[in-house]
Amino acid sequence: MSDRFRDLLRQVGSGTHTSEPLTRSQAAEAMKLMLLGEATPAQIGAFFIAHRIRRPTGEELAGMLDTYEQIGPQLQSVASAPFVLGCPYDGRSRTAPMAPLTALILVTAGVRVILHGGQRMPTKEGIPLIEIWQGLGLDWSKLSLAQVQKVFAELGLGFVYLPQHFLAAEKLVTYRREIGKRPPIATMELIWKPYLGQATVVSGYVHPPTETMFRQTFHWRGVTDFITVKGLEGSCDLPRDRTCIIGLHQPSQQTQIVKYPTKILTQNPGLDDIFFERLLLHPRDYGFDGREITLSSTPILIEQIQTVLSGQTSEFMKAAIWNGGFYLWRAGVCQDLESGLSSAESLLTEGKVQAKLQEIQDYFLNRD
């Protein structure tokens, strides 16, 4: 048992009237004690439940991320700043994920991308990103971190896989199953940046208070480039059946919407941040509204993705273009959203994204 962890647990778990949030340094210490196995299972479970009830603060999440940065894996800095796409580790269960296609579109256009995640895990037990990549011939679970770094440096795509690259964090997954609720690390993972250098962090969320928590955490950690998305199942996938609610904090990117300029609103909810903008995108204004793609099974999902890569027109293709076009715009590849959508469509229908995937597949086959 860790006496020090017991003191930290007592501070956050003393009830509604007497509990107090941890400072940044205390939260970092608590996370370190958990990752290093110095806190007991009973202490860790109690800590997760206490935080689940009280909700972590932005300062606490910043401290936990400090420890992830200190102990966890980090891809090394390269010439151009990547996009880091943060999606829930417990996967998708209702709608088809677009993040792998979005990543491939961006990489094809010269934008580096990092994703991260694990195997199937509670509470959703949905299809995780690793299974999709494996179905596309990219088995990141077989690569060392040094090999992932090489793929990232040479071909622009990287995936940090917890069971292979961050075993200490993987060992905490079991608590999600035992307590039956998402612990604070499930929120923290959405804003984790396993990269040593400047990057644009894209984080999905479901509930508006979570976005505020993200912004507070970014403020504490000095993250200046980020995008928040009220996405499908808490991912960074843009919906097509409703208005897209997006937060932009990209001081280096000038927001431009040629056709619908009224969709940009400046919003400042108490964070004194002149660079944050609220973007409301209506898919129907651009001809991309429609029902979300229902998720059935991993094999069928892979077939649908392959159909898109082959350039065939479908609702799945429209969803891929909608997402890819938006992120091409926000990455600065295209001047506005409309040109981003056009570029994404061209990259897919002309076979360029498929060719890029083949190039990465060839590396995986010949990595030895």
| Burial (0-12, 13-18, 19+ Cβ within 10 Å), 212 | middle
Q: Three-state secondary structure along 37-79? A: CCCCHHHHHHHHHHHHHHCCCHHHHHHHHHHHHHHCCCECCCC
Q: Say what the pLDDT of residue 269 is.
A: 43
Cα end-to-end distance, the chain, whole Å: 44
What local confidence, expressed as pLDDT, does residue 252 receive? 74
CATH says 83-358 is which class? Answer: alpha beta
Cα dihedral: 285, 288, 291, 293 (round 10):
-150
Give yes or no for a contact between 2 and 37, defined as CB atoms under 8 angstroms apart.
no
What distance in Å separates the CA atoms of residue 65 and residue 214, rounded to the nearest whole number?
A: 12
CATH 3.20.20.240 fits 3-71, yes or no: no
Identify whether the C-beta of residue 293 lies closer than 8 Å to the C-beta of residue 319.
yes
Cα 35 from Cα 29, distance rounded (Å): 10
pLDDT tens-digit profile, the chain (368 residues): 899 999 999 999 877 767 899 999 999 999 999 999 999 999 999 999 998 888 899 999 999 999 999 999 999 999 899 999 999 999 999 999 999 999 999 999 999 999 999 999 999 999 999 999 999 999 999 999 999 999 999 999 999 999 999 999 999 999 999 999 899 999 999 999 999 999 999 999 999 999 999 999 999 999 999 999 999 999 999 999 999 999 999 987 755 443 443 344 444 445 667 789 999 999 999 999 999 999 999 999 999 999 999 999 999 999 999 999 999 999 999 999 999 999 999 999 999 999 999 999 999 998 76
Domain regions of the chain by residue span: 3-71, 83-358
**What whole-number distance in Å separates Cα of residue 306 and Cα of residue 308?**
5
pLDDT, tens digit (0-9, with 9 covering 90-100), for 195-214:
999 999 999 999 999 999 99
* Per-residue pLDDT, 267: 44
DSSP-assigned letter for residue 206: S
Query: Residue 268: its pLDDT value, please?
Result: 43
How confident is the model at residue 272, as a pLDDT?
60
Which pLDDT does position 19 carry in this prediction? 82
